[in-house]
Amino acid sequence: MRKRKATVLLAGLSAAALALAGCANGDGGGDNGDNGDNGGGDGGYHIILVSKGFQHQFWQAVQAGAQEEADAQGVTMDFDGPASETQVDNQLQMLQTAIDSGPDAIGYAALDPEACLPLFDQAEAMDIPIVQFDAACNSEYGNYLAATDGVAAGALAAENMAEELGGEGTIGVVAHSQINSTSIERRDGFIDYMEENHPDIEIVDVQYGDGDHIESADIARAMINANPDLDGLYGTNEGSAIGIVNAISELGIDPGEIAVVGFDSGSAQIEAIQDGSMLGAVTQDPMEIGRLTIRNAIALIEGEELPEFTDTGSFWYDADNIDDEDIRQMIYE
């Protein structure tokens, strides 16, 4: 472990990486690093997950799910990810380090679907199985993705927004990225659903705030000021949605006057839904993404057939069903 830490340090992540390594080891434990070829069919595998991040509670839930499954199956799991979801370079470094350390399998969530191609070729050449989670690399190799169907999830958000607005009105979209596939799918799924089913609903503006709370709040304020009759705002991830909620409260607009639909959960968003400042949100099942990734990895190591894509599901929740047992399992504080 020590050696790996040092490498990551040199890669320029210094303290951030230490924090990560700290929490990745916390409950996983164990000696990995030098047990690359302990093949056997009875578990004991070493699987490295390279995530899109680790600070965001979503990724922590993915990690928790993966850890749970890893413990249940008796495999060792390491979890790595860059400090922010814009750091494509850093993430590729981590994937490189993961490949170099020769694990039994790698789980990868692509920040950029093309930049990962050379490393996937390398993994293929070294015969390291790859499974993918959340977002895929455009590679023929390792083409097994466990993720939320983002287009369906965006459409689910649109459906509930349209119902609240009674089929007509104006909506602004605060998305978190122009290049990230989850952001693109949730945006397009939402916009396409509106265009197909609700011609009287107009999307007046789409802006991008990197999922940053303050940036997204500033964007939402500008949208509301530019469009005083705005009926709805849609945030494509947790940070975007919280930014919208903050902007509305900063402007002193009554909660509920503008219908706000968000994504994922987190305690601030849960509270906003409970107190009525948010209509509701679409949640994925991050724990299941983590669990399925580990299951897929083990199946692949043992030579089983895997589907190219498994939808881990998306679910609408609002003040009415937020306390249901099956919803509670998917949202996180």
Q: Which is nearer to another protein, 14 or 38 (CB)?
A: 14
Pick one of 2, 228, 229, 308: the residue that binds another protein (CB under 8 A): 228
Q: Which is nearer to another protein, 252 or 303 (CB)?
A: 252
Pick one of 83, 117, 299, 322: the residue that binds another protein (CB under 8 A): 83
Window 177 to 196, contacts with another protein (CB under 8 A)? 178
Q: What pairing do the DSSP bridges indicate for beta strands 314-318 and 201-208?
A: unpaired
| Residue listed under structure tokens 């927004």 | 161
16 binds another protein (CB under 8 A): yes
218 binds another protein (CB under 8 A): yes
CA distance 314 to 259: 20
Smallest distance, another protein to C-beta of residue 90, A: 12
Neighbours of 200 (CB within 10 A): 12
Q: Which pair of structure tokens corresponds to residue 84?
A: 């922010």
Are the C-beta atoms of 47 and 297 separated by less than 8 Å? yes
CA distance 283 to 148: 10
322 binds another protein (CB under 8 A): no
Smallest distance, another protein to C-beta of residue 225, A: 4
49 binds another protein (CB under 8 A): no
Give the 3-state secondary structure of residue 280: strand
CA distance 160 to 119: 40
Window 133 to 172, contacts with another protein (CB under 8 A)? none
15 binds another protein (CB under 8 A): yes
Smallest distance, another protein to C-beta of residue 16, A: 5
Sign of the torsion angle spanned by Cα atoms 281, 215, 189, 314:
negative
22 binds another protein (CB under 8 A): yes
CA distance 82 to 309: 25
CA distance 202 to 168: 8
Pick one of 45, 108, 208, 315: the residue that binds another protein (CB under 8 A): 208
60 binds another protein (CB under 8 A): yes
The single-letter code of the amino acid at 111 is L
Q: Which stretch binds another protein (CB under 8 A): 36-44, 101-109, 141-149, 243-251?
A: 243-251
267 binds another protein (CB under 8 A): yes
**How wide is the angle at C-alpha 332 spanned by C-alphas 256 and 330, nearest 5°?**
95
Smallest distance, another protein to C-beta of residue 135, A: 19
23 binds another protein (CB under 8 A): yes
Task: Tell me the site size for another protein, rule CB under 8 A.
Answer: 38
Q: Which is nearer to another protein, 219 or 289 (CB)?
A: 219
Q: Which stretch binds another protein (CB under 8 A): 155-163, 192-200, 210-218, 285-293?
A: 210-218
| Residue listed under structure tokens 């959960």 | 265
Are the C-beta atoms of 213 and 239 separated by less than 8 Å? yes
What's 116-151 look like in SS3? CHHHHHHHHHCCCCEEEECCCCCCCCCCCEEECCHH
CA distance 5 to 147: 29
Q: Which is nearer to another protein, 83 or 152 (CB)?
A: 83
225 binds another protein (CB under 8 A): yes
Q: Which stretch binds another protein (CB under 8 A): 51-59, 128-136, 186-194, 274-282?
A: 51-59
Instruction: Give Dmax (Cα) for the chain.
Output: 64
Q: Which pair of structure tokens corresponds to residue 327?
A: 């919803």
Binding site for another protein (CB under 8 A): 14-16, 18-19, 22-23, 54-55, 57, 60, 83-84, 178, 204-205, 207-208, 212-214, 217-219, 221-223, 225-228, 242, 246, 250-251, 266-268
